[in-house]
Structure 1
Amino acid sequence: MTGEAKVDFKILGPVAVRSGDEFIPISGPRHRRILATLLVDPERPVSTSRLVEVLWGEGPPSTAVQQVQNCVGTLRRLLSSTGVQADIARISASYRLITNGNQVDASQFVQILSDAETRARAGDLHHASASIRRALSLWSGKALEDVGSDALAPVAARFEEMRLRALEQCGKIDLAQGNNANVVVEFSEWVSRYPYHENLHGYLALAMHNMGRTADGLRVLQSLRSRLSTELGIEAGAFVDKVHRGLLDSQEANIPDPGGMPFDADVLQMVRSAVDQMTRAVALLSSQTCQTCSSSPSTPSSGRLRRASRAPADAA
């Protein structure tokens, strides 16, 4: 991908729409929820019943349909006043956001990650890493941060999971290329946002070791282990165990110099396995966000590590 369309709508953070050179928030929780629902999968019709569910859940008022119509009318006037090339069309008992190209940050996020995956498969790790960073730069907070709808929670969770997968991929590429300083600087911030995420801590510890800071890497892992045990009542997984053992062994000169990959073949494979994970994540998000326009599935079970990673500190 050589370039992206200008972003006019944001949902990877507070919901906002472009007005000139600025982004303005959407006032009113109902208006935010309706616009966010339309933006999750633009160009696909969203039924009125789905919008009622997003707004009120299982207990809508008798005037719910009329209130949806009123909110849509207000949103149409807002879009017209901002000058963005978009409108909301009514199609039978549904509404569709009509845009002029790829104007939604979340849509661009998915497409840029797909481009990064293609570059990584072709061996172009430098540009793959740059593409991932460009995708991550689209975020301005948590997905659907100010929406507050249980019906949209699974969608937000899938975007957040995809963000974490992208972070992991970026860290793995940097480690494979020896860009350890990038990992240390960036992941030191990310582990503070996701204090229970094991892989992020493991990559940070690896990068620290590769820069000759093995003791710092051990402290990162020991702190993680303590948090997992005392706050969540769980033990660290296999990847953290391998990294931890490797760093301990390195203090006895059983690991090569920091310039090389410091562990055995199975750990090396774990560090370089993210391409297939990203491919599955792109396909999963692309298909499941479409399904959420007509249904509200439960948040998928994600296992021990992902349960821990869903308790991040607030994003900046």
Structure 2
Amino acid sequence: MNFRVLGPLVVQVGGIPVNPGSARQRAVLSTLLLTPGQPVTVEQLTEAVWPRNPPSDVMANLHSYVSNLRRLLEPNRPPRNRDTVLRREPNGYVLAVDADCIDSAHFERLLHEGRRLLQAGMHRQASLTLENGLALWRGCAYPEVSDYALGAQTASRFEELRLLALESLWDATLAEECDFSALAAELPALAVRFPTRERFSWLLMKALYRSGRRAEAIDAYHRTRRTLAEEYGVDPGFELQELFGTILRGDPIAECA
């Protein structure tokens, strides 16, 4: 069994894609996938599936969705046999699947491994690992439960991890790249999209400086400084200021930072 939640929900059973059903049925499954192996109460499912104005026949609807999902996930289960994948327990419903079959967990493992390789100076291997992790993304995480508090919190957490993976990938790429001009052409889009994320600015400044575009690197610093002052009333952090000082002095940039 395989579940993809880094984008619209995709389900595979026995390597074959299956239709997870209606929007509310997908919301039920997505809610269970937020905490696989742990019980989810009827109240939690109700809040996730009907964030506003739940119907009077909530239990009947939930029972129908759960029954459909059981048939979907265990198509060969003999009649009257106990459900093993989607179980009803005293304190709620449990989706008894290993986190390894969910792409979000796979992405998180690849991110941690990529950062470990980066810290070990294995830049090419780090780049490949992080690229494989980022390739799992097809959109926002857990979009079927974006109006549910836990769903929104989980999606926000994974978006933060996605940005960390992008930063780590560029770190690894800059460490192994000889021609920085191509990188300096691609990084501005990220710096513009996330103007208060200092690491993207740091990477852009480094790429510009190493490609011989010192004045543009200085301009990039001042843009970030102004944005941080306007948005949050703060100055850039130590790392960004340190890199700015290095560029102003015309000193070489250390390979690791």
Shorter chain as normaliser: what TM range?
0.7 to 0.9
User: Aligned match of 2:69 in 69, 75, 83?
Assistant: 75
User: Aligned match of 1:41 in 35, 41, 63?
Assistant: 35
Higher relative contact order (CA 8 A, sep 6+): 1
- Corresponding position of 1:241: 241
User: By how many angstroms is 1:15 displaced?
Assistant: 2.4
Q: Is 1:15–1:147's contact at 8 Å kept on the other side of the alignment? A: no
TM-score, with length taken from structure 1: 0.64
Q: How does 1:149-228 map onto structure 2 within 5 Å?
A: 149-151=147-149, 152-178=151-177, 180=180, 183-184=183-184, 186-228=186-228
User: By how many angstroms is 1:62 displaced?
Assistant: 4.5
Larger radius of gyration: 2
Q: Distance in 2 between matches of 1:167 and 1:136?
A: 8
Percent sequence identity over aligned pairs: 29
The range that moved more, 208-217 or 40-49, is 40-49
User: By how many angstroms is 1:78 displaced?
Assistant: 4.7
Distance verdict in 2 for CA 1:118–1:261, change over 3 Å:
closer
Q: Distance in 2 between matches of 1:149 and 1:116?
A: 32
TM-score, with length taken from structure 2: 0.76
User: Aligned match of 2:10 in 16, 23, 28?
Assistant: 16
Q: Distance in 2 between matches of 1:186 and 1:36?
A: 34
Q: Distance in 2 between matches of 1:143 and 1:228?
A: 27
Q: How does 1:1-316 map onto structure 2 within 5 Å?
A: 8-18=2-12, 27-28=22-23, 30-56=24-50, 60-79=54-73, 87-99=85-97, 102-120=100-118, 122-151=120-149, 152-178=151-177, 180=180, 183-184=183-184, 186-230=186-230, 232-238=231-237, 239-250=239-250, 255-256=251-252, 260-261=253-254, 271=257
Number of residue equivalences: 245
Secondary structure in 1 matching 2:95: strand
Distance verdict in 2 for CA 1:162–1:80, change over 3 Å:
same
Q: Is 1:204–1:217's contact at 8 Å kept on the other side of the alignment? A: yes
1:14-65 Cα distance to aligned partner (Å, 9 max, x none): 223348776868641x223222222223333323232223234597555333
Runs of 4+ in 1 over 6 A off after TM superposition: 19-25
